[in-house]
Structure 1
Amino acid sequence: MLIDPKSPEMRRRRFRPIPIRMLVPNFITLLAICAGLTAIRLSTEGRMELAVAAIVFAAVLDGIDGRVARMIKGQSKFGAELDSLADFVNFGVAPGLILYFWQLRELHNGGWIAAMVFAISGGLRLARFNASIDDPNKPAFAANFFTGVPAPAGAITVLLPIYLGFLGLSKPPAMLTAGYTLLIGFLMVSRLPVFSGKTWRMRVPPEMVLPVFVSVVLFIALLIGYPWYILSVGTVLYLLSLPAGWKSYRDHQRRAAAQGATAADVVPPESAQPYVSKVTEAHQDNRPSRLN
């Protein structure tokens, strides 16, 4: 039986109403894209402080949209694709252009190459993440680690020279800034295990609710009052934590390998299993029956 695609029934299926809860996370993602594009415009106009603030704002929105989607059950494939596009614009293209207009253009083509390599590294990092989401061979402990520095963290980290410049320090040589930009781009596409915190329990004991509220308010107040100090210290601490993430991943690998070796010692090899089963059957045939 053929169904006419222009029939009223098919038209109702195609244009059925979409719940508002499916749209809210996408609105947040679109707002993040607007922040990233605005950061690019502000950097071309030389308003670097506002440009960097827009990138930080986009990173905050990126951390919110996914959690809001899971909280209100508004996940969708469209939202996931839109989020990937937003991450590429906000944390790949925008930081690279900000660094280029801030200092890298002094190197002419060399500075543009450094900015372009960083942007492309962000895109490759996101493509690899999307391709490995449904990897069946990933061990259970790997859920708490990213492969390579995630794009939002890479964007916040690569802007460290600008934070230091806002603190009154002299600009580093343009070659040093370009090398640092390439280094962060390499860390994004590398296989370095990085803490993700996805498996951390998001429940707070009742006695810790008020201290958590105070800590969050204090952090926000410090970020607003002393943004470049907080971002500089946070970036340095994040870079110093990368070796700890690699060590933790290696420890998990060793424990998993040891458990696998122990299980292999307990379970007889396949070649010995037929012999073991025959011996077991013979023993069962010779033992007295309790039904007699």
Structure 2
Amino acid sequence: MRTTHMIRTAAAGLLLGGALFATGAGTAVADDATPSPSASDTSGTAETAAAPGTGFRTAGHIGQGVTSTPAGASTGDYLYWVTPAKAGEILTVSATVQLPESASRHGAQTWQLDLYDGLRRHQACTAGKPTVNAAADAATVELSCRLRTVRAWSEAWANDPLPGAYYIRLTVVRLADQDLGLPVQVQLGTASKDAGGSQAVDGELAAPLTPVAKAGATLDPNAQPSPAATEDSGDSEDSEGTADPSASPVAAGLAEPDGGWGGGWWSDRWLWTAGGGVLGALAGVAGYNLTRGRGRRPVA
């Protein structure tokens, strides 16, 4: 009877461990099945995507998992967007450029997609086509870049992606001089997926790498406020020390991702930890029963 009970206990433990493993695997499969942004998916773009800017400070905001509406630009312009990314995410950016008619062009063109973090450090792409050479008769150019996993914490000397703002720059890097200024249509899309508990690290940043409003501004203690500033500020204590968001358009419109910049406390690592603890406890019970049964002597 004791042996039968031990076998049943071990079988139940294996079934529970298998269920936990299937749950974790199902979560991983669901994450991998996250669709990439497509040109036809424009739901919600009016609220979460803006026209591109021409610099870091004027970058247009774009949310996660959306595709912007086509924006007009000139060949040779530097186009900038900015998007938030939290810890544990893998950010993927794609861009589609509608080129002018081939009759108006004078040769091939090379377009490039670059990603920069909140400190404006260039981040390498682990997958995709960040640089594409378009033939003289090509109608469109499609580029993509998949970022490394955004880490919750990193060493000061490392160039790891960290939570915060990510700038996206799109431009042409090689073309005929006669083609500068030709009109193009640009569409950008972003997508992200959870990297899973295997990429989790200990530690957390004190603050995300996001632009600061009025960066570099200083206050003169002897300066007198202007009448216009006095009228606007009033006597309310809430207005004291409030930075003007218009001084930094990027900082004013960059929204914090769902779950915070740290990515939240939950990950599939909890499933593996719980499953390992249950299997370890069952193994201990089974070993105890085996050794206890062998230690007994039959009564004469």
TM exceeding 0.5:
no
Name the structure with the higher strand share: 2
How does the TM-score come out when normalised to structure 1?
0.26
Greater relative CO (CA pairs within 8 A, separation 6+)? 2
